[in-house]
Amino acid sequence: MSAVLVPSASADGVPGGDEIVKSRNMHHVANIPKQGPLAAANAYGSDWAFKGRYAFGGNYEGFTIYDISRPKRPKVVTVVHCPGSQNDVSIAGNLLFLSTDSSRSDDSCRSVPKPATEKSSWEGIKIFDISDVRNPRYVKAVETKCGSHTNTLVPGKRGTAYIYVSSYSPNDTYPDCKTPHDLISIVKVPLKDPRAAHVVAEPVLFPDGGNPGDPPGTPWPNETRATSGCHDLTAYPDKDLMAGACMGDGVLFDISDPVKPRTITSVRDDENFAFWHSATFNNSATKIVFTDELGGGSAATCNAEVGPEKGANAIYDIVGKGDARKLEFRSYYKIPRHNADSENCVAHNGSLIPVKGKDIMVQSWYQGGISVMDFTDSRNPKEIAWFDRGPWADDLSTLAGTWSTYYYNGYIYSNGIQRGLDVIDIRDHRTNKAKRVRLDELNAQSQPNYFD
């Protein structure tokens, strides 16, 4: 893959500062830096959701609404200041769901940090009415056990949505987050009456306790994290399926009854996977790409020392039918470039690029940049496009890079931890047909069926 490399790149091939390297089919068309109270170094850009002409970008200090009707000239519509990491976002109709996974003094947008050891502390899901994008209204909060690290939308019947809340890291000193914590929280939301939202179920997904993980003191990067809940869940509502990235376990669920998710099969990879982080189905639901967030996103793992099989994607085929379905490992995929030791880099959030008959996804790799992977042959995935910037700093003291990168209505959108919104136009004969596909709404963790 040929690259456009600025002349002042360092001798080892790593660009410097704001300099860019990329494949020739990736065209960087816009950037909007983080704004106002969401601009600080510790105000990390996080997840995306999309509705019509608007993109909603999460941030540890709130969220930003962008007008992307002209993707090459996006505009900031509204900045909502509402602290509470991670502030992952999902959308159903005129409602936006915001995850709070830091212990707060109360459920308001004026809260301050408060120890999780205190019973009065709050974590959970906040609900906003976004029918007026210039004036979003905060309408409801729902507290959930261990907070909400991520959230996944599962549409229900008769004007109802279910929000699957993933959280982890229990501690017996936390009144609302004690061990064992092998569950998720399911919030039922009447879309016309969001003030009636409430926790309707707390199904235990790991009655056997899940993966016990490696003992303390296991040398990095060889440790596997013990399962205590899930990090991220990706639903495929049209197929009644869900993929769970659950710390030490990768899981395939049946969600035909949305309040009673049922395990079909699960897998482990104690040799190469440290932390099952996120998951993406292919459109036909015959494959799952799981990611391993080795080092929690803050380590330099895209180097020769760590190698190509740790901190990578793992591609599994779904074989068999019904309850006899199994996950069979096919291959690993990691970006084929070594980063500087000052760059945090590991597999992170991505989504499909909808090309009929092909399995192609775009993905964030923190300071490893953006990679477009063709995994149509699940045994032989290949990179077909990429985009990267130079190191944010001379060391790893500041988290940086791209957190979530998704494809929506013809363009790639990246939410940078430090750099804000990037818009990229991929122009390639292998992906050009995707430009014809249009959605009214996209939550990457609630995958649409593009073609069936």
Mean pLDDT of 193-214: 97
3-state secondary structure of 48: strand
Whole-number Cα distances in Å, 290 to 187, 249, 273, 383, 447: 25, 10, 10, 16, 15
| pLDDT for residue 340 | 94
Question: Is the pLDDT reported for residue 11 higher than 80?
Answer: no
Mean per-residue pLDDT, 346-360: 98
d(CA 420, CA 34): 5
**Residue 9 — pLDDT band, cuts 50, 70, 90?**
very low
Looking at residue 323, its pLDDT comes to 96
pLDDT given for residue 14 in this prediction? 72
pLDDT exceeds 80 at position 2: no
Listed in sequence order, the residues at least 6 apart from 216 whose beta carbon sits closer than 8 Å to its beta carbon are none
- The per-residue pLDDT for range 285-338, each reduced to its tens digit, is 999 999 999 999 999 999 999 999 999 999 999 999 999 999 999 999 999 999
10 pLDDT above the threshold of 60: no
pLDDT at 17: 75
Q: How many CB atoms lie within 10 A of CB 367?
A: 29
* In the predicted structure, residue 6 carries a pLDDT above the cut 60: no
Tokens of 89: 């976002």
Mean pLDDT to the nearest integer, 235-259: 98
Tens of pLDDT, residue by residue over 74-93, are 999 999 999 999 999 999 99
Task: Please determine, for residue 4, whether its predicted confidence score (pLDDT) is greater than 60.
Answer: no
Report the percent of the chain where pLDDT is more than 70: 97
pLDDT of residue 12: 55
Please give the pLDDT value at position 150: 98
User: 5-14, 111-120, 121-130, 141-150: which has the minimum mean pLDDT?
Assistant: 5-14
Reported confidence tier of residue 452, pLDDT bands at 50, 70, 90: confident
Q: In the predicted model, what is the mean pLDDT of residues 181-205?
A: 98
The model's confidence at residue 214, banded by pLDDT at 50, 70 and 90, is very high
Contact 344, 299 (CB under 8 A): yes
Mean pLDDT score of the chain, rounded to an integer?
A: 95
Query: What pLDDT, on a 0 to 100 scale, did the predictor assign at position 13?
Result: 65
What the chain holds in terms of domains, given with CATH numbers, is: 1-32+233-452 (2.130.10), 43-204 (2.130.10.10)
Band (18; pLDDT cuts 50, 70, 90)? confident
Do residues 186 and 259 make contact, with C-beta atoms less than 8 angstroms apart?
yes
Q: Calculate mean pLDDT across residues 123-151.
A: 98
Give the long-range contacts of residues 156-161, CB within 8 A, separation 24 or more: 156/188, 156/258, 159/190, 159/191, 159/192, 160/188, 160/189, 160/190, 160/191, 161/92, 161/93, 161/95, 161/188, 161/189, 161/191
Q: What is the DSSP string of 199-260?
A: EEE--BS-TT-----PPTTPPTTS--PPPSS-SEEEEEGGGTEEEEEEBTEEEEEE-SSTTS
Each residue's pLDDT tens digit, 414-445? 999 999 999 999 999 999 999 999 999 999 99
Tens digit of each residue's pLDDT (9 = 90 or more) over 38-56 = 999 999 999 999 999 999 9
Average pLDDT over residues 106-128: 97
Provide the pLDDT confidence category of residue 220 given band limits of 50, 70 and 90.
confident
Looking at residue 3, what is its pLDDT? 42
Task: Using the predicted structure, report yes or no on whether residue 187 has a pLDDT greater than 70.
Answer: yes
Q: For the chain, what percent of residues have pLDDT higher than 90?
A: 94
Going by C-alpha positions, the residue among 326, 419, 409 that lies closest to residue 370 is 419
Residue 237 has pLDDT above 70, yes or no: yes
3 state DSSP class of 432: helix
In angstroms, rounded to a whole number, what is the distance separating the alpha carbons of residues 263 and 205?
A: 7
In this structure, the number of other CB atoms found within 10 A of the CB of residue 30 comes to: 19
Among the ranges given (9-18, 296-305, 370-379), the one the predictor scored with the smallest mean pLDDT:
9-18
Dist. CA 207–CA 185, nearest whole Å: 15
Q: Does residue 122 carry a pLDDT above 70?
A: yes
- Please report the pLDDT score of residue 184 as a whole number: 98
Q: Are 364 and 405 in contact (CB under 8 A)?
A: yes
